[in-house]
Structure 1
Amino acid sequence: MTQFDTVDVMRFLGRRVGEKVHHRFEGDVITTVKTRAEGTRVKHALNRNSIKMYDKQGSVLRVETTVNDPRDMKVFRTKESDPNGPLSWQRLRKGVSDLHRRAQISQQSNERYLESLAAVEHTEPLGKTVRDVCQPTTLNGRRVRSLSPLSPSDSRLLESVARSEFRLNGFRNRDLRSLLFGAIPSCPTQHKRQSGRITRQIRLLRAHGLVRKVQGTQRYQLTAKGQTAITALLAAQNASTKQLVQLAV
């Protein structure tokens, strides 16, 4: 309730969203909590679709995604008018025909939610969690500087790699480049310079064990350490001074 905002809920349910919700978005994102005799339920709804978490009899945590409106979802299949034609991304059908894809999308939503929830529930003191990343380290025998989580550049880097859309498939150099630098420059020299800078930043994160390379690809994913440390750092950074002082008392 206090950690996940509108953008997080939309990403959990598979919507591609930037740092803020687009001003033309006309849907509703609602989070509710209810407590009954059987347990407590937290529900995040995006229009008619939702992801909810509840404890059954206080002993079993269950997360489930409900898809009532699949219009914004896609499935890789042939056109209904040309069943023998080429495969392409088509709108997800509401019946049982695309049930396998609906189950896949729901499972991905559950996994994104659980991964984020695991980081939120981390109980280790922040100082111990981030102690190593704030110290210089080495990678392949070469010294690598420490991270400065509160500096504008490092903070923006951490926010970028922790985006929800990268949690399943990871991110590439060009994904970070577009987030940190915007549109691709027309000058080849400037483009190469930006790409090189992103490569060095990814190397920095790898050296501190925050990301790992996906074997056989050009993609990188957060490690368990990275998920926990970055989530904790961003939460501390976004907390008010009053909140932090209250925790220290």
Structure 2
Amino acid sequence: MVEKNHTYKGFNFFSDYDNRIFLTIARGEYNLRGFRNKDLRTRLRENTTHTICRVLKRLRLHGLIKKITHSYRYYLTTLGRQVIATGLKLKELFIIPQLATQG
């Protein structure tokens, strides 16, 4: 993904870091009010504000989250919910068991 001559990488469901991000923003408690940078920092403790800001930018550019107007909160888009739920299900229910039986 490129915006203003700056390249943003995609997401990998097999990366521990990306997986923790997806599991965090998909939590039910964020469905009603949304989530903030601070909320993600409390769940992903090793990250700074700047690191989380870059993650939020990546999620926005890929259309997985949207900013709530006049606030610091974000929420999952319909596409974001579908992509995260489908990706995590495929990984847990199909891909990992297939790899386990082959190994």
TM-score tier after normalising by the smaller chain length:
0.7 to 0.9
Per-residue deviation, 1:165:
0.6
Query: 2:93 aligned to 208, 216, 239, which one?
Result: 239
| Percent of residue pairs bearing the same amino acid type | 30
Query: 2:54 aligned to 192, 196, 200, which one?
Result: 200
Q: Which runs of 4+ in 1 moved over 2 A?
A: 138-142, 240-245
- Partner of residue 222, structure 1: 76
- List runs of 5+ in structure 2 lacking aligned partners: none
CA 139–223 in structure 1, closer or farther in 2 if over 3 Å, else same: farther
Q: Secondary structure at the match of 1:237?
A: helix
Give the root-mean-square deviation of aligned CA atoms: 2.1
Which whole-Å CA distance do the structure 2 matches of 1:199 and 1:152 have between them? 18
Corresponding pairs, count? 99
Query: When the two structures are superposed, what TM-score results if normalisation uses the length of structure 2?
Result: 0.85
Q: Secondary structure at the match of 2:33?
A: coil
Query: When the two structures are superposed, what TM-score results if normalisation uses the length of structure 1?
Result: 0.37
Per-residue deviation, 1:213:
0.3
Higher relative contact order (CA 8 A, sep 6+): 2
1:147 equivalent in alignment to 2:1 = no
Q: Give 1 or 2: higher helix fraction.
A: 2
- Partner of residue 46, structure 1: none
Per-residue deviation, 1:198:
0.5
- Partner of residue 42, structure 2: 178
- Partner of residue 13, structure 1: none
Per-residue deviation, 1:139:
3.2
Per-residue deviation, 1:140:
4.5
- List runs of 5+ in structure 1 lacking aligned partners: 1-136, 183-192
Q: Secondary structure at the match of 1:215?
A: coil
CA 144–237 in structure 1, closer or farther in 2 if over 3 Å, else same: same
